[in-house]
Structure 1
Amino acid sequence: MSMVEERRSTESLAEVYRNEGVVQVPGLITGDEVEQIRTAFMSEVERDASWARDKGVPADDPLARYPRFIHPHRQEEMEAGRIARRLLTDERILSLVTALIGPALGAQSMFYFKPPGARGQALHQDNIFLRAHPETCLAAWIAIDHVDAENGGLMVVPGSHVTEIVCPEEADLAESFTPDQVPIPEGMHTVQTKMAPGDVLFFHGSVVHGSRPNSSADRFRRSLIFHYVPQTSTEVASFYFPLVHPEHQPVEGIGVATGGGPCGEFGEMAH
């Protein structure tokens, strides 16, 4: 995967994205902001995370104590939710999103804690969940900790954005907390990301990506993740409504996607 440090202009970032479907931008979020994000979400998960429980996670699983937060930007009564709402439409992020896919709408926010011992997530493609049509979705994955292979950093398959959505197979539940995985497209391979707090990884909705378990002794792999869809979308799955306009205007003219495309019915959220 190309290193963004060598290509800082917006045009160059867009070129990397067109070629590889994934681009990493270092230090987009400041250290003070990262600390604020980390503190707010840790305070909330320690206070009460019962509303965020994932179905089917055993009580003794590390993810039962630290479940992923889905759509925190809708929980504006808590500080973590207000932070997510603000950053979802932050100009630094949106300007790059716009450079990559054109004017966009916020579709989803997520926060992953991924504590030591947590399982990873099998290889998958996000747009099988968002079902944005005719184009695809775009993820902005913000590292809140130092991220590498040991603590379960993302693996991505550069170039896989040119493939169609691949129907999933069964995943190894000893390694993945989600039950489905997609195979690596022929002739391609995974690349292990390495990120510092505040780095942001942008990737196309068809990019194959996932992660291994957090095998570290004491390192979280926290991340704040946003998904966007083009304003020109004609369909998006209902789970992502209401979409968020950058200027908080009502969003009109986008229909609700039905079914799961060529792979049948799947879950409601990008993982």
Structure 2
Amino acid sequence: MENNYHVPVLLKECIDGLNIKPDGVYVDVTFGGGGHSREILKHLGKDGVLIAFDQDPDAQRNKIDDPRFHFVDQNFAFLKNNLRLLGFKTVDGVLADLGVSSHQFNEADRGFSTRFESNLDMRMDQQGKLTAAEVLNTYAEDALHRIFGMYGEVKNAKSLARAIVTGRVDRPVLTLADFKAVAAAHIPKGKENKYMAQVFQALRIEVNKEIEVLEHFLSQTADVIKPGGRLVVMSYHSLEDRPVKSFIAKGKFRGEVEKDFFGNEIKPFKIITRKAIVADAEELARNSRSRSAKLRIGERI
């Protein structure tokens, strides 16, 4: 099923980056269609273990029938606790493929895509309370301005926020059509698709608290990955890539790397990829989603 669910990006590079030991314990924290997980299992021996995380109920349908495979129906923000519940204090490698799966974009009623007329939902976790519609209808103007500017890099974030707050007085913004009606004067002609993609990215990141969740997850990898184990993370926009790059390089998200009394750097990972790995021409031709992918690898010191 995973082929039409989601084509895994940079598959070989991710597997090579994990440097898989046949009897090792590995974690795929973004299971989705299971493409990366199936490839990891091919490299594991009978004593190897693969643990996969995904909070999306749709992803559960792709579970793998294999005694070495464990599925955790949770957000990867809860990595450490769930590994302990399964009896693993440490693991040999962790893989994260961030962003939204092709399947989620293609499911009209999930509200992730600007291609379909639908309710503005955008929850990765269907049990979550906050939807994109709620953000648009309840957030203050300055909060909307901040979200559009910071998470979507929307040029006219301030005037868009004002238009939404003014427009929702007459009628709530619940669907894609409602949004387009209220924002019509602010959507640049000829650049509608790019603009809407930026706005939708901003809303999705806010609804799912993606940056906070990512930082919380990365911090835990320092505790759960064994020395010599690998952290392999693929991101699709600079807002995700920045914390990944910073954490692998410095063990923190802001400020300079800490040093001990003797001036030695104190950080959990050594960088394996000086520059992010990106898709080659062949993969770009095969899978347009790989265009923005950046892969970074760190090894636990």
Q: Per the shorter chain, which TM-score range? A: under 0.3
Task: Name the structure with the higher strand share.
Answer: 1
Q: Choose between structure 1 and 2 for higher RCO, CA contacts under 8 A separated by at least 6 residues.
A: 1
Task: Name the structure with the higher helix share.
Answer: 2
TM, length-normalised to structure 2: 0.26
TM, length-normalised to structure 1: 0.28
Structure showing greater radius of gyration is 2
